[in-house]
Structure 1
Amino acid sequence: MKSFLLTGIVTTVLSLMTICHAQDATESSSADATNERAEKLSNLFLEQAESLEIMPIDSDKPFKLAPTPLFRFATEGTVFGSVFVWHDADSRLALIGTIGSLPINGTDIQFVELHLLKPERISPLILPGFPVKRWDPNIDELQLNPLDEAPAVAANARMRLTQMRSLARQFTAQMIHNNQTNQLRLLPHPLYRYSDSTPERDGALFAFVWDNGTDPELVLRVESVTRDGVPTWNYQPIRFTWRALKLQHNGQDVWQQGEFFQRDSPQQTTPYLTGLTEPVP
């Protein structure tokens, strides 16, 4: 009897081990396929970013793409994207954008999101897609807001980064979707830090993301601006979704954007552009 029971137990254990091994193999295969897909798409996203010519009206030099994305994201293995920045001729931050893909009715469709950062008029950008879009952004909304109670800008670069991270944590953000308010999560490390920083010229970009991924929904820019000969800390909220957004600083509402209805329009005139472009092979 004991032998029979022991044999049954061993058989059951072996069966469970076989099932677990099969599940592990399936999950590993699925992860490999997702990683392979993400790598292929990242190359396509870079090609799309390189194809965008964003030309300031008062310059003969287009904004220059930084070819290495700030980061890449994958949400639930179906939504992929790469976040890029562009600089002006003086190597100053000028524009941020995401090139990505998402499934629509069983087909992966590429999308483009751009946000002008530099308050300088650009030649209208024609973006192919559904529908074709003409982007001629108004620059009146592009402003940095002072953080009046922020500490003096530190002389040391490492201390300035610590200051910027601390200032970013003073903000909270929400996204409203389908009549539900979703608390956004601040990523602990900046997406981007200005290169060759000085107290007079330093800054960083921080991302607020939804719980179901790391796709930025709102980007917070923290930057030192010299006023009356003294560098001071400032901030700028940057929309990165068509959904409605709210931002608070130390619990007080400081910025709010409603749903972006221009997303379906062939004419877009805000600093934020979004659109679907083409099916992804």
Structure 2
Amino acid sequence: MNRCVLVVVVGWLAAWQSPSFADPPASDKELVEAWLKVSRQHAEDYTFHPVAAPNAKWTLLPQAVFRHSQPVRGDDIGAVWLWIDQDKRPAVIGSVFAFTHQGDTRTVAHELHSLASQPIEATWRGSARWRTKSSGLAWQPVPDAPPAEKTPLGRQRQVRDIARRFQAESIDHKGGRWELRLVPRPIYQFDIESPKEGLGGSLIVFSQGTDPELILAVEARRVNDEFHWHYAPATFSDYSLKLRLDDREVWSRSEWSSNRDGPYWCDAASQERLPDKSTRKESTP
């Protein structure tokens, strides 16, 4: 995600080089848990649906699919959330994270990417917030991939093999390059019980430290009477990105600029202070 450019922030563009979320200093754990609770509250207040079907609300998964903290540079604390459709297919992925603004006040930012096949609309706390003009992903066949296996376990093995064929890098505003790390396990896997267009798939993360920079969707999609593997990249960064398949560039995206009707959008939502410790409730995504 690499800190999408926010109008309210100046100079907040440093790349993450942080320790694993799983190992924050003991003194930071309470702070991390408190702001993760804020992340959950913000995510729960979103409603997403296709523009053409306002009553077809998508479901927020009960647990975050990825968590991250950055106590060294940027001071970010947040979680990645996923909304799915009735077939369990990913529809929207979003990060809600907080970074220090002034004193004990933090700016809470939202970063969203549509994964849907049609234009979508987002409402947050009763107000329209984001409306896309097109589908969120552009699918491409995975070359030289075998047809999708019939069993979920077999398809999971195939996804792991496919993921290892990809490499990704980010390029910052000064031309610095970072080879992104393939997170070993997909952050989400799904199987469609009554397949028409597809059998199922996975979401794969390429990260810089613990910071998700690029989301790679991999899905077994119908081609005539068979199901073949396809991929679709989704940016989660304000930096330029490049994706390679078998060491050949297959996708790139230049630095992001604010676009409220595009498939990727990021903005500051609020500035908040944590309540007094005595009033906090323990809740971790």
Q: TM-score range by the shorter chain?
A: 0.7 to 0.9
Residue in structure 2 matched with residue 115 of structure 1 by the alignment: 113
1:87 matches 2:84: yes
Counterpart amino acid of residue 224 in structure 2: D
Structure 1 segments of 4 or more deviating over 6 A?
none
Residue in structure 2 matched with residue 168 of structure 1 by the alignment: 163
Residue in structure 2 matched with residue 206 of structure 1 by the alignment: 204
Residues 157 and 198 of structure 1 are in contact (CA less than 8 Å); yes or no, is this contact kept in structure 2? no
Distance 1:179 1:148 in 2: 31
SS of the aligned residue for 2:42 comes to helix
Residue ranges of structure 1 left out of the alignment (5+ in a row): 1-29
Residues 89 and 200 of structure 2 are in contact (CA less than 8 Å); yes or no, is this contact kept in structure 1? no
Q: TM-score, normalised by structure 2?
A: 0.78
Q: Which has the higher strand share?
A: 2
Distance 1:64 1:73 in 2: 22
Counterpart amino acid of residue 89 in structure 1: Q
Mark the structure with the bigger radius of gyration.
Answer: 1
| Match runs of 1:71-150 below 5 Å | 71-76=66-71, 78-104=75-101, 107-123=105-121, 125=123, 134-140=129-135, 142-150=137-145
Q: Which has the higher helix share?
A: 1
* From 27, 51, 56, the counterpart of 1:33: 27
Counterpart amino acid of residue 65 in structure 1: L
Residues 202 and 224 of structure 1 are in contact (CA less than 8 Å); yes or no, is this contact kept in structure 2? yes
Counterpart amino acid of residue 260 in structure 2: Q
Residue in structure 2 matched with residue 246 of structure 1 by the alignment: 242
RMSD value over aligned CA atoms?
2.4
Residues 218 and 230 of structure 2 are in contact (CA less than 8 Å); yes or no, is this contact kept in structure 1? yes
The 1:278/1:68 distance shift into structure 2, 3 A limit, reads same
Distance 1:121 1:54 in 2: 11
| 1:45-96 per-position Cα deviation (integer Å, ceiling 9, x unaligned) | 1110011111222221221111211121112362111111101234322111
Residues 137 and 234 of structure 2 are in contact (CA less than 8 Å); yes or no, is this contact kept in structure 1? no
Distance 1:233 1:80 in 2: 35
SS of the aligned residue for 1:238 comes to strand
Counterpart amino acid of residue 236 in structure 2: F
Distance 1:34 1:195 in 2: 38
User: CA shift at 1:280, angstroms?
Assistant: 3.0
Residue ranges of structure 2 left out of the alignment (5+ in a row): 1-23, 274-285
Residues 116 and 135 of structure 2 are in contact (CA less than 8 Å); yes or no, is this contact kept in structure 1? no
Higher RCO (CA-CA < 8 Å; seq separation 6+): 2
* From 215, 228, 234, the counterpart of 2:230: 234
Distance 2:218 2:86 in 1: 21
Distance 2:44 2:229 in 1: 32
The 1:58/1:168 distance shift into structure 2, 3 A limit, reads same
* From 251, 270, 280, the counterpart of 2:262: 270
Distance 2:67 2:213 in 1: 14
Identity among equivalent pairs (%): 29
Counterpart amino acid of residue 48 in structure 2: I
Distance 2:29 2:171 in 1: 31
SS of the aligned residue for 2:50 comes to coil
Residues 180 and 207 of structure 2 are in contact (CA less than 8 Å); yes or no, is this contact kept in structure 1? yes
Q: TM-score, normalised by structure 1?
A: 0.79
Residues 187 and 205 of structure 2 are in contact (CA less than 8 Å); yes or no, is this contact kept in structure 1? yes
User: CA shift at 1:142, angstroms?
Assistant: 2.3
User: CA shift at 1:103, angstroms?
Assistant: 2.5
Residue in structure 2 matched with residue 260 of structure 1 by the alignment: 256
Residues 127 and 277 of structure 1 are in contact (CA less than 8 Å); yes or no, is this contact kept in structure 2? no
User: CA shift at 1:243, angstroms?
Assistant: 1.1
The 1:174/1:165 distance shift into structure 2, 3 A limit, reads same
SS of the aligned residue for 2:120 comes to coil
